[in-house]
Amino acid sequence: MIADAREWLEGIEKRYGPNFAIEAYGFLGAVGFTQEGDDAPDDESCSDSAVGFWSPDGRHWAQVGLLRSALS
């Protein structure tokens, strides 16, 4: 994840030039897991999955906009 974030950050200047500001960001991930006591199906490592999103930006419109953009 760190290498991916670094690559993204390094690519910003190439795309937008040297004068930019990162105004908001977030993390979106899919997490696979198995409930305690449950067995995963034979051909899978996890029995359940969930999507999680986190952003340090407290502005609701920024969080919604980031999530919508990520999901499209």
pLDDT, tens digit (0-9, with 9 covering 90-100), for 7-36: 988 899 899 998 999 988 888 888 888 877
Distance separating alpha carbons of residues 54 and 24, to the nearest angstrom: 11
Count the helices and strands in the chain (H runs, E runs): 2, 2
In this prediction, residues 39-59 reach a mean pLDDT of: 80
The domain segmentation of the chain, as residue ranges, is: 2-71
Q: Dig out the tokens for 26 from the structure.
A: 């977030």
Amino acid at 57: D
Please give the model's pTM, rounded to 2 decimal places.
0.58
Of 57, 59, 56, 38, nearest to 47 by C-alpha is 38
